[in-house]
Amino acid sequence: MNKFEAGFLFQILLKMRSVVTMNIKIKETVFESFPNLESARLVFKEFENSDSQAMFELRSNPDVMRHMDSHPYQTIQDASLSIEQNRIAFEEKTGLNWAIFEKETQQFIGYFCFWKLFRHHCRAEIGYALHPNYWGKGYMDETIKTMLSFAFEQFGLHSIAANVNPNNKNSIRLLEKNNFVQEAYFKEDYFFDGQYIDSLIFSLLEPKG
């Protein structure tokens, strides 16, 4: 082995060591049993098949889907398939998806998820939706605060991203209220329903100290 080959091998080993070190930070124990959570007014639980009807009503609601940039559910089978995909994501350790319930009524009101999980970088993207009947109550702000604590204190994430339609002003305000920072504005980067759509990228870093 010559000097060049030795140096190249050394660089590869350093990168591998870095990856291993970063991998340790993600707490794989989170995926041993689903992490049910709760806040003052809400309960966050694993989706069950019995949630299909409520999930269908949420994801077929025009107000919910206005800035979602994906097609509304057409049948309850669409919701059932989504719930099954959530289960598979948990089993394969690629995502976490919570059904949100109001404590007082035990009513399903929305969902929150971590997806696009990049283990090596301790990074994930978030997604969320809330039924319009529960808008204006601070429920999604309460949800995000709960999930951020879980992400940084129990899950081991270092950074969290959110991709938002620029017209979704409520979501933008929600993210900014929780210290997310706009990192990018991508023009016409997403093709949906016959047109190119802009995207805003927000991110939040793990608190230092």
Share of the chain above pLDDT 90, in %: 86
Tally of domains within the chain = 1
Q: Which domain holds residue 17?
A: 3-47+97-205
Mean pLDDT of the chain: 92
Residue 154 located in a structural domain: yes
Range 111-132 average pLDDT: 97
Range 109-124 average pLDDT: 97
| Cα gap 86→107, rounded to integer Å | 20
Residue 132 located in a structural domain: yes
Q: pLDDT (tens digit, 9 = 90+) per residue, 144-177?
A: 999 999 999 999 999 999 999 999 999 999 999 9
CATH of the domain at 107: 3.40.630.30
Range 38-59 average pLDDT: 99
Residue 88 located in a structural domain: no
Residue 112 located in a structural domain: yes
Residue 92 located in a structural domain: no
Residue 191 located in a structural domain: yes
Give the closest residue to 180 by CA, choosing from 188, 190, 189, 172. Answer: 172
Q: Which pLDDT band holds residue 20 (cuts at 50, 70, 90)?
A: very low
Give the closest residue to 57 by CA, choosing from 5, 99, 9, 10. Answer: 99
| Cα gap 44→11, rounded to integer Å | 44
Residue 178 located in a structural domain: yes
Q: Are 199 and 164 in contact (CB under 8 A)?
A: yes
Residue 161 located in a structural domain: yes
Range 176-189 average pLDDT: 98
